[in-house]
Structure formats: structure tokens, C-alpha cells
Amino acid sequence: MILADKIIDLRKKNGWSQEELADRLGVSRQSVSKWEGAQSVPDMNKILKLSEVFGVSTDYLLKDEISEPDGNDLVPVDEEVTAVRVEMEEASQFLEFRNIASNRIALGVMLCILSPVLLVMMAGLQEAGRISLTENQAAGIGLTVLLILVGIAVALFVLTSIQGNRYEYLEKEAIDTAYGVDGMVRDRREKYRSAYTRQLTIGIVICVISAIPLFFVMTVFGTDDGLPMVASIDMTLILIALGVFLIVRSCMIWSGMNMLLEEGDFTPAAKAEERRNAPIAQIYWCLIIALYLGYSFITARWHESWIIWPVAGVLYGLLTAVLKVVRGKA
């Protein structure tokens, strides 16, 4: 094992990102990235510092024939786990699948948000006497389209989930990437960084301004004028769907790269925490789905019930933060 691989291996076993290791060494993240990519070699002072930080001998770092450090001081942050080996071919296939999956999942989410658009429009047109349909006929057409769009979305989710089962370990288990994988993924991530930032920013901005049509109609026409209000609701949903599509797609691609690098939300410590939260997460999201479907079908307010999902996401983040604090005090 060469020095570059040893630095990667020791950093991941300690659950540190490149930024965290760089801070401990007093160097830039770019320096650590070059060491791990075998693009440069740390000087002797940095070798000594690496030895101190990792708790290993300089002989282990410098001699390629030594493949295992002495002592028992190298354990993951929370628990001892066996890392799963990820070869270059597997990593490349995963990134390719992640690109495809990001489009499917983003499209599915967008279809779910768009599903009540026709229902809302048909109800408004029927109430205004613009179409020669009864209330039940208009509602029936709208609900039929809604269920078709939701069905397509569910099919996309299920298909992607089944095909992605083989890569589930990347999200949950500690991994050990083969030589060259780390550098390849970092290169791809750096090339995607500008596109990720652009798509994420545009998506967030579109979601923020999505309520403008609704506020405009309320200001100009008031809430009593049915058709402009209906049109503004549909336009708001369309803008939200577009913004969420960009956000979901870009974040899925970015997080896929972080999975292979074990950075961001996928450090060994974060994975261990996620495993502990898994039973609670299953119960929580089952309740949210039941609440969403129950409220939507009973009230027929599909154009409003979508707000349950962002609220549920924020509350889940708060729940996991509370659990982490409680466990830390236990």
C-alpha cells in the first residue's frame, strides 16, 4: 500500500473529511487532496505530523511493504466495522446509475407536485361555467389524471429503488475504495461543482418566487375572482415542481459522489448515526405518508397538502438532532 492509500485509509477510519484532516495538520484541503491523489508527497515535517495525528509510526507511512499499522489505536469514530471494498468499475457504475436515478426521482417528485394541477383547473372552470361538465364529471377527470401521474411517479420510485438496492451499502456501510477511485471521484465532483451550484441556486430561487403569481392575483383581483385565483394556484404548483426538480436532481448527483468519498452526510460517524435512527425513520415516514394521503383524500386539497413534505423534512432534521444530543448525554 502506497502513502496516498494509507492517508486515505487512516483518514476514513478516523471519520474525518479532507477539510478536517487539513485543519489538524495546518495545511490546505488542496494539499491533502493532492497527497491522496498521489499528485504530490508531503515533506518530512508533514510526515511527522501525519504520524502524530493518526497515531502510527513514520515507518508505516513511508514503507510501502508495511500494509498494517501496529497497535490498536485505529478504530472508527463510533464502532469497529468491516469496510466494504469498492473497486474502480463498481464506483464508475454507481456514478452512472446515480445520474440516471437523479432524473427519475426528480421527475417522480415533479409529477407528484403537478398531479393536482388539472384537478384544480377543472374545478375552477366548472364553477365558473366555462365547461359543460357537472361537478362530479370535472372532479372525475381531474382525479383520474392525478392518479395516473402519481402512479407513474410511484413506478419511477419503485424501479429506481429496486435497481439501486445493490448500491445500498454505500449509503449505510463503511467503505474502502481501491487505488485511484478517490481521485477519480474528486475530479468528477470538481467538474460538476459549478453545475451543482447553478442548478441548486436556480431551484431554490424558483421555489422562493413561486408564490408571486398567487400574491399578484390576490392583490389585483382579490380572492373572490375564481379563475385568476385558480390559474395562480396552478402556476405556483408548476413553479414549485420545476424548482424541486432542479434541487432533487443536483443534490442526488452531488450526494452520490460524497457517498464514495465518505464526506458530508456520509462520514463513518454519520452512517453509524443513521443506522441507529433507521427504525425511528421508518415509523416517522410511514406516519407522514398516512397523514398526507388521509388529509388529501378527505379534504381534496391536493394543491395545499404538498406543504406536508417540506415541513416533515424540517421536523425530521430536528428529531435526529435531538436524538443525537440525547445519546451524547447518555
Q: What is the pLDDT of residues 154-198, one digit of tens each?
A: 999 999 999 999 998 888 887 888 888 888 999 999 999 999 999
Contact 77, 223 (CB under 8 A): no
Cell 457504475, residue? Answer: 93
Maximum CA extent, the chain: 85
Segment (H or E) for 84: strand 84-86
Contact 77, 269 (CB under 8 A): yes
- Angle (deg, nearest 10), helices 226-261 and 181-209: 160
Q: If you ran DSSP here, which 8-state letter would residue 28 be given?
A: -
Report the CATH superfamily, name and number, of domain 3-62: lambda repressor-like DNA-binding domains (1.10.260.40)
Residue type, 112: C
Distances (CA, A) of 58 to 2, 27, 45, 51, 70: 13, 19, 11, 6, 11
pLDDT computed for residue 73 by the predictor: 38
At 135, is the secondary structure helix, strand, or coil? helix
Q: How many CB atoms lie within 10 A of CB 30?
A: 12
Residues of the chain with CATH 1.10.260.40: 3-62
Higher pLDDT, 16 or 205: 205
Contact 55, 74 (CB under 8 A): yes
Give the whole-angstrom CA distance, residue 85 versus residue 250: 27
pLDDT computed for residue 25 by the predictor: 85
Contact 111, 149 (CB under 8 A): yes
Give tens-digit pLDDT for 228-286.
888 888 999 999 999 999 999 999 999 999 999 888 888 777 777 777 777 888 898 88
Cell 424548482, residue? Answer: 243
pLDDT at 225 over 70: no
Among 216-220, 234-238, 307-311, top mean pLDDT goes to 234-238
- Of 12, 160, 189, the C-alpha closest to 100 is 160
At 307, is the secondary structure helix, strand, or coil? coil
pLDDT at 5 over 50: yes
pLDDT computed for residue 26 by the predictor: 82
Give the whole-angstrom CA distance, residue 179 versus residue 172: 21
Contact 110, 156 (CB under 8 A): no
- Of 124, 180, 150, 142, the C-alpha closest to 2 is 180
Cell 495538520, residue? Answer: 25
Grid cell at residue 236: 405556483
Mean pLDDT on 91-95: 94
Q: What angle do CA 274, 277, 280 make, to 5 degrees?
A: 150
Mean pLDDT on 113-130: 87
First to last CA, the chain: 39
